[in-house]
């Protein structure tokens, strides 16, 4: 269950009002929590502030802040716990201040006392020893050949210099050219092969392609087999770009993979073509081709000689009509109207239609009028959505200033209407147990109650449940109880 959120009354410290007994308030500029005692300003009691402490996290210890008086908590001294402890550690402070220059020391059991600070630091190196007076001397760390030293913000950094031709130091090796393992440097054979391969393949070759097979460390030479790239002036090659006259040659286009494309024919032998004046019927053979004009003349003559008969059948009776006859389509008075104009026959309903039996509409039903009245005992609608407020089948393009909803007629002392509707003027859904209507606008005389098992709200915070019940307990969920501001 998502618990509700309770927000304290809050505002700037200067605006903190006299709080009622038990009323909490949070100052948003000084981060302080107050609780009222007796409804007076003097009765506002301070109970804590984030300025004076910082709570531990899963990886960082807590701390107590000693706040400077004029900074409203922005400047402070922190006493911080270690980020990790094995148990409870207690420190007991000394009962009085120490002398100038002394430092705090522990006895190993948590009792602190002031002692004199160490004055000198003894040093020893690969060669030589020295002593540094901590209060007066400066400790200098120098680098030798190939070594750099730097001091920044109390940090000493010792690093190796980059190697050069004349200076020792740290050097890096390109992994493409060298392999380095446990301090041993090896020149990569692959790199040598690539350099030689590049020199060979980028050289000048004529009608020969050279490629380097890196996986097998070998060179592949391929001779161009495209005959069009060679000089044909002294050869017998016929290539795609050649222009040659072939005499007494046979073209076999039926073999596998053979084809002829983009072939232009200059002329045909006269005996192979049937022209319009000769006619197709007089040249019935398998060795000639007709012209388009000869084909059209023959087809027009054949179609004009056809007399077509079509059989007809209705809900009752059958008939037939031939090309030379007239087909008549008749209607039924007050039920079906027919009209003919040119090559069109129109079949439709009259302006007023009365259907005495059942009517089934398999497609869409459009009713264009001012009122649709259904006088039935039960109306069954399979649609999942009812689309109200449309204008001639489309969404309105301007504000119609009308309410939209469902009206419920009932009788209590008099005929009344209840409604669930969209109030156009207020832009919200309304539940009313007594409404009146005028020109599509509803006016609520009183508002109806709403009985529900649970309540969900989908607003700026998203969709979530706000009222729930378990057993006999009703609870708020995902709710902010806001005490307001001061």
The secondary structure of residue 422, as a DSSP letter, is E
Is the per-residue pLDDT at 478 higher than 60?
A: yes
234 pLDDT tier (thresholds 50, 70, 90): low
d(CA 124, CA 466): 74
Mean pLDDT to the nearest integer, 320-348? 84
Q: What is the pLDDT of residues 367-400, one digit of tens each?
A: 888 888 888 889 999 999 999 999 888 999 999 9
Q: What is the pLDDT of residues 419-462, one digit of tens each?
A: 999 999 999 999 999 999 999 999 999 999 999 989 999 999 89
What pTM did the predictor assign?
Answer: 0.38
Domain boundaries, the chain: 5-80, 271-303, 404-451
Q: What is the pLDDT of residues 103-140, one digit of tens each?
A: 899 999 999 999 887 777 888 877 888 888 776 788 88
Mean pLDDT to the nearest integer, 330-337? 81
d(CA 266, CA 282): 27
Q: What is the reported pLDDT for 214?
A: 74
Q: What is the reported pLDDT for 416?
A: 96
Cα–Cα separations (whole angstroms), residue 156 to 130, 139, 143:
19, 11, 12
More confident residue, 375 or 215: 375
282 pLDDT tier (thresholds 50, 70, 90): confident
Q: Tokens for 137? A: 């001397």
d(CA 244, CA 49): 104
User: What percentage of the chain carries pLDDT values higher than 90?
Assistant: 30
Is the per-residue pLDDT at 202 higher than 70?
A: yes
Q: Identify the three-state secondary structure at position 381.
A: coil
Q: Beta-carbon neighbour count of residue 26 at 10 Å?
A: 20
Mean pLDDT to the nearest integer, 159-176? 82
Q: Tokens for 46? A: 């301070």
Q: Identify the three-state secondary structure at position 221.
A: strand
d(CA 479, CA 430): 23
Q: What is the reported pLDDT for 11?
A: 95
Q: What is the pLDDT of residues 306-331, one digit of tens each?
A: 777 888 888 788 888 887 788 888 88
At 178, which helix (H) or strand (E)?
A: strand 178-181
CA 482 to chain centre: 35
Q: Tokens for 268? A: 């045909």
The mean pLDDT of the chain is 84
Pairing of strands 184-187, 178-181: antiparallel
């Amino acid at each position: 269950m998502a618990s509700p959120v309770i927000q304290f009354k809050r505002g700037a410290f200067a605006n903190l009002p006299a709080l009622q007994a038990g009323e909490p308030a949070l100052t948003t500029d000084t981060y302080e929590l107050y609780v009222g005692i007796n409804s007076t300003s003097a009765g506002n009691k301070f109970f804590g502030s984030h300025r004076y402490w910082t709570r531990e996290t899963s990886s960082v210890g807590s701390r107590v802040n000693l706040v400077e008086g004029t900074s409203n908590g922005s400047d402070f001294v922190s006493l911080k716990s270690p980020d990790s402890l094995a148990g409870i550690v207690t420190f007991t402070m000394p009962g009085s201040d120490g002398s100038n220059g002394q430092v705090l020391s522990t006895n190993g059991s948590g009792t602190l006392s002031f002692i004199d600070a160490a004055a000198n630091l003894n040093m020893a190196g690969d060669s030589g020893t020295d002593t540094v007076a901590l209060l007066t001397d400066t400790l200098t760390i120098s680098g030798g050949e190939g070594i750099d030293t730097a001091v920044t913000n109390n940090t000493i950094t010792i690093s190796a210099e980059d190697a050069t031709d004349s200076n020792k130091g740290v050097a890096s090796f390109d992994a493409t050219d060298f392999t380095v393992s446990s301090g041993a440097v090896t020149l990569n054979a692959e790199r040598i092969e690539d350099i030689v391969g590049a020199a060979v393949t980028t050289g000048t070759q004529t009608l020969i392609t050279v490629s380097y097979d890196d996986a097998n460390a070998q060179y592949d030479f391929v001779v161009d087999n495209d005959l069009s790239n060679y000089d044909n002036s002294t050869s017998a090659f016929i290539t795609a770009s050649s222009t040659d006259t072939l005499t007494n040659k046979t073209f076999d286009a039926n073999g596998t993979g053979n084809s002829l494309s983009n072939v232009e024919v200059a002329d045909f032998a006269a005996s192979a073509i049937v022209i319009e004046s000769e006619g197709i019927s007089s040249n019935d053979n398998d060795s000639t081709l007709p012209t388009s004009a000869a084909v059209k003349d023959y087809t027009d003559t054949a179609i004009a000689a056809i007399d077509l008969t079509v059989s007809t059948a209705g809900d009752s009776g059958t008939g037939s009509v031939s090309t030379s006859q007239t087909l008549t389509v008749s209607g039924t008075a007050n039920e079906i109207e027919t009209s003919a104009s040119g090559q069109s026959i129109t079949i439709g309903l009259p302006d007023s239609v009365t259907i005495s039996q059942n009517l089934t509409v398999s497609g869409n039903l459009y009713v264009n009028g001012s009122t649709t009245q259904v006088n039935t005992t039960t109306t069954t609608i399979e649609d999942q959505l009812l689309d109200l407020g449309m204008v001639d089948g489309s969404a309105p393009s301007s504000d119609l200033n009308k309410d939209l909803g469902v009206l419920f007629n009932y009788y209590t002392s008099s005929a009344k209407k209840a409604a669930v509707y969209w109030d156009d003027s207020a832009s919200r859904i309304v539940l009313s147990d007594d409404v009146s209507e005028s020109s599509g606008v509803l006016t609520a005389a009183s508002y109806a109650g709403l009985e529900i098992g649970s309540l969900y709200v989908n607003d700026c915070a998203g969709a979530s449940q706000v009222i729930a019940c378990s057993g006999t307990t009703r609870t708020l969920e995902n709710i902010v109880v806001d005490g307001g501001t001061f």
